[in-house]
Structure 1
C-alpha cells in the first residue's frame, strides 16, 4: 500500500507539472547571419504563410555605395529565395505592408519628396520598384495597400500637419484625400478592408478644449464613400480609437476618452460606427477595470481606488492621469483585443557650467518616454468588455513614442506580450483577467551551450504565426575556443 500511495502521489505531481512545463517557451531554431551593426541595416517582416522576409542594406561609411537585399526564410529559418534591388544609395526603409501575393515596401531618400516603392512577390521573390515624387510630403507615417493601390499618411511640407494621399502606382496618379482640418487634428487609425473594398481612416479632431472622432471611408480609387461624425457624450471627449473590419452595419470604434485635460485618458469606450449618438456606446472608467491598476503595489492600488471612488461619488473628476499609446486592434474568433502602453515623458535638466562653483539651469529637455505598464482589454463582437489584464513594465523606455511591447493573440485565446532586454525576452501570458504579478524572463539561446553572449544591440521581437514569435538583433558572441564573432540573429520562440 505505501508503494501504491507513493506511485499515486508521483503521478499526481506529474499531472500537475505537465501544464506548467507546457507553458515554457521553446527555441527550436536559430539563424545567424554574418552582419555587423556598423554598416548594415536590417528589417525582419513576418509574412502570412508562416515565413519571414529579411531585408538588409549594406553600405560604405560615406553612404556613396549601397546594396539592397531581400531574402525569404521559411518557418524553420531555411532560405527560400533571395534577390537584390538597385536603389539609390541614400534610400532608407520606412514601412511595409503585405497584401497577398505581394509585400510592398516604401523607402525614403535625402530628397524628402522622393520615395521608392518596392513590390515583392512573396512566393517567387520576383521584384519590381519605382520612384515617385510625392511633392506634398516631407515624411511618411503610415502606408497601406488595397488591391494594389497605395494609401499614405504623411506630413504636409507646407504646414507640417498630417495629410493623407492616394497613389495609383500603375499611372503615378496622386490625389490628396479629404481628411484632417484643424491644427490639433490627427489620424488615430488606418484600416484597409479588402473584403469590402474600402479604407477607413479614423480622425481625432480637437480645438484644445474638446475632442471628437470622425471616420472617413474611401473606395479602392480614393473616392469618399462615407463620412461618420461620432457625436460627443456630455462630459467626455473621445481621444483615439481603432476601427473594426467588416460591413458598415457591424463596424465598431474601440478607443479611449478623456474629460477636461485632453492629454490624459480617463477610460475606454466602444460604439457602433453608425450610431446616431455616442450614448449608444459603452464607457468604462479606469476604476471599473479589474486589473488596470495592478502595476502598483497592492497598498497603493487600494489607496488609489478608495480615493478615486470617493471623488466619483462626490461628482468630482478623477485625479488619475494616463497617457496611452494604442496598438492596432487584434481580431479574434470571439471578438477583439485592444492593447495599449501607459507612458509619461521623461525630462532631464539642461544645465551650463559658468565657472568655479557656478552652474545655471536653462530648463528641462525631454529625454524619451518611460512606460509604467501595458494593458489588454478583451471585447465581444458587440463591443462589450469581457476582461482586462495588465503587464507591469519596469525600466522600459523609448526615445521616440513607438511601441515598446509586442502583442500576439494565441490560438488558445491567451494574449502574449513581450519585449527584449539585452539577451533576454521579458514576456507575460494573459489568460483573460487572471492576473500574474511575476515577471517571466527567457534567455535567448546561441548555437552552442558553452558560447557566451558578450553584448546585444538593436534587439527586437515581432509576432509571427500561431504560437511563435521571432526575436532578433545584433550580437557579439564568444565561443569556448576561437575568436569572437559578430552576427545578426533570429531566434524562433514558441509559447
Structure 2
C-alpha cells in the first residue's frame, strides 16, 4: 500500500470514527418539581411498558401533614396519572418493585415486626394497602425485611435476623406468609436473587466457603415457593467462586457468569462461565489479564509495569494475584448471546481530626464507594467470551454500593453512561473497538438561557430502547430572575 493510499485510508477511518462516536445525545423533554434535598425525597422507577413511575415524599412544612404522592409519566414526560397516598408519617420507604401490571412499594415503621405493602395498578392508579404483623405468622419480631420481587401474585421477601438470611413467600391473594426452609443460611450468603418471569422461577445464588475455598449453590423455586432444583458449582482447581449471575429464560440453557478468586474471596481474579445443567461442561475461567481492555483505565506506564510483573510471576510458575472488588449487573440477552456489565470499585476512606483536650487524633471516615471502571463482556450461548471492552470512570463516588453505570443499546452500538453532578459522562462502543473514553454532555435546563448553578443527588437510569432518564436536584438561575430549586427528570436520547 502506497503512502498516499495509506494516508487516505487513515483519514477516512478517522472521519468515520468521528461521525460514529462524536454525536452528542439530545434532551427533548424535561419536567420539574419544586423541591430541595432538605424537604423532599424522590424515587424514579422505569416500568416495563416504557413509562416512568415517580414516588415523592414531601415533608417541607412542619405545620401540615407530610404527603406521599405517586405519578406515572409517558415517554414524552407527560403525566398519565397521579395520586396521593394517605399513609402515616412514620412510614419509611424500603423498596420499590414493578411487574407488568402493578407497582409495589414496601414501607417499614418504627415497629420492627411490622411492614406495609402498597400495590398500585399501573394502568389506572387504583391501589390497595395491607399492613403485616410478623408476630401473627410466628416469625421473629426483629426480622429486617430488605427487598423483594414478585412472581404472579407471590412476593419473595429477603429478610435477616441477627445472624441469618431468611426468605419469606407472601401470597398476595390470601395475605399468607410462610418461610422457605431451604433458604435459611448465613446472613452474608446471598449473592444474587432473580425473579425469572419467562420460566416463573425465583432463583437464588448462595455463596459458601469453608475458609479455604468458595463455592456457589443455586436454588430455584416455583412461583408459590416450592423448591424445584439445587445445583452446586465448585471449582476443581485452586480457585474460589465468589458470586454469579444467571442468564434469563430457558431453564435447560441456563448459563452462570460470575467472578472467581485465588484464595482471598474478597478480591476477584477474573470472570468464569458455566452451563448450569450441562454435566459435561467445565467451568471456563477468564483471568482479567487475558481481557483486551480490562486495564485500559490505567496510565500506559502503570499498565506495562503490571504486565511485566505478571510475566515474571508466570516464569516462576507462580500465581499473580489481582485485588479487584467487582459488582455484577444482571445479564442482558442480545442477538449473539449474553452481555455482562460489571463495575470495579473500592471503599474510600479519609482521615479527620477530632479535637479533645488539646489533642488531635486522626479518625478514619468512610467516604463511600469509588468506582474505577466498567467492563462489558459478550459471551456466546455456551459461555465462551466473544469480546470485551471497558469504560474509565471519573469522579464516580456513591454513598451506597449500587449500579453506577447504566447501559443501553442503539443499533450495533452500546452506550455506557453515568451521572456526574451537572453532566452525563458516556462512552459509545462497538464490540471491542477502541473509542473515546471521556465524552460528557451537560444536563440541560428548560431554556438554553438558564444556568444550572448547583446539582445534588443526581442519577441516571436506562429507560427504554436508546433512551436514558436523568434525574436529581438542581438550582437553576434564569437571566434577570430569581433562582429556583427543583427536582428534575430529563429524557436523554442517543441517535
**More deviation, 396-405/225-234:** 396-405
Give distance in 2, aligned partners of 1:13 and 1:321.
38
Distance 1:494 1:153, change over 3 A: same
Please state how far the C-alpha of 1:272 moved relative to its aligned partner.
1.0
Distance 2:63 2:203 in 1: 39
Report what 1:25 is aligned to: 25
**Native 8 Å contact 1:330 1:409 kept in 2:** no
**Which residue number corresponds to residue 7 of structure 2?**
none
| Alignment partner, residue 277 of structure 2 | 274
Match of 2:194 among 168, 191, 194: 191
**Structure 1 segment 96-495 matched on structure 2, within 5 A:** 96-134=96-134, 135-136=139-140, 138-156=143-161, 159-179=162-182, 183=186, 185-276=188-279, 280-349=282-351, 351-356=353-358, 358-361=359-362, 364-406=364-406, 408-495=407-494
TM-score, normalised with respect to structure 1: 0.90
Q: How far 1:216 sits from its partner (Å)?
A: 0.5
Question: Do the aligned partners of residues 64 and 250 (structure 1) sit closer, same or farther apart at CA in structure 2, a change above 3 Å counting?
Answer: farther
Task: Give the Å deviation of 1:130.
Answer: 1.3
CA 60–131 in structure 1, closer or farther in 2 if over 3 Å, else same:
farther
Deviation at 1:40, TM superposition (A): 1.6
Is 1:185–1:206's contact at 8 Å kept on the other side of the alignment?
Answer: no
Q: 1:143 to 1:353 in 2, by over 3 A?
A: same
CA distance in structure 1 between the aligned counterparts of 2:127 and 2:47, rounded to whole angstroms? 16
Using the TM superposition, name which of 71-80 and 433-442 deviates more.
433-442
- Worse-matched range after superposition: 341-350 or 25-34: 341-350
Displacement of 1:228 in angstroms is 0.8
The question of whether the paired residues in 1 share the 8 Å contact of 2:31 and 2:77 is answered with: yes
Q: Tell me if structure 2 keeps the 8 A contact 1:230–1:275.
A: no
Give the whole-Å Cα distance in 1 for the aligned partners of 2:307 and 2:63: 56
Count, aligned residues: 478
CA 1:434–1:63 in structure 2 vs 1: closer, same or farther (change >3 Å)? farther
Counterpart Cα distance in 2 of 1:119 and 1:40 = 22
Cα distance in structure 2, aligned partners of 1:99 and 1:255: 26
Q: Give yes or no for contact 1:182–1:207 (8 Å, CA) kept in 2.
A: no
Cα pair 2:343 2:371 within 8 Å, conserved = yes
CA contact (8 A) 2:95 2:148 kept: yes
Gaps of 5+ in 2: 1-11
Question: Residues 184 and 132 (structure 1 numbering): CA distance in 2 closer, same or farther, change over 3 Å?
Answer: closer
Q: 1:103 to 1:421 in 2, by over 3 A?
A: same
The alignment yields a C-alpha RMSD, in angstroms, of 2.4
Indicate if the aligned counterparts of 2:165 and 2:187 stay in contact, CA closer than 8 A. no
Q: Measure the CA separation in 2 of the matches of 1:218 and 1:82.
A: 36
Write the deviation string for residues 302-331 of structure 1: whole angstroms up to 9, x where unpaired: 221121133134321213211111112222
Unaligned runs of 5+ in 1: 1-11
d(CA) in 1 for partners of 2:352 and 2:59? Answer: 36
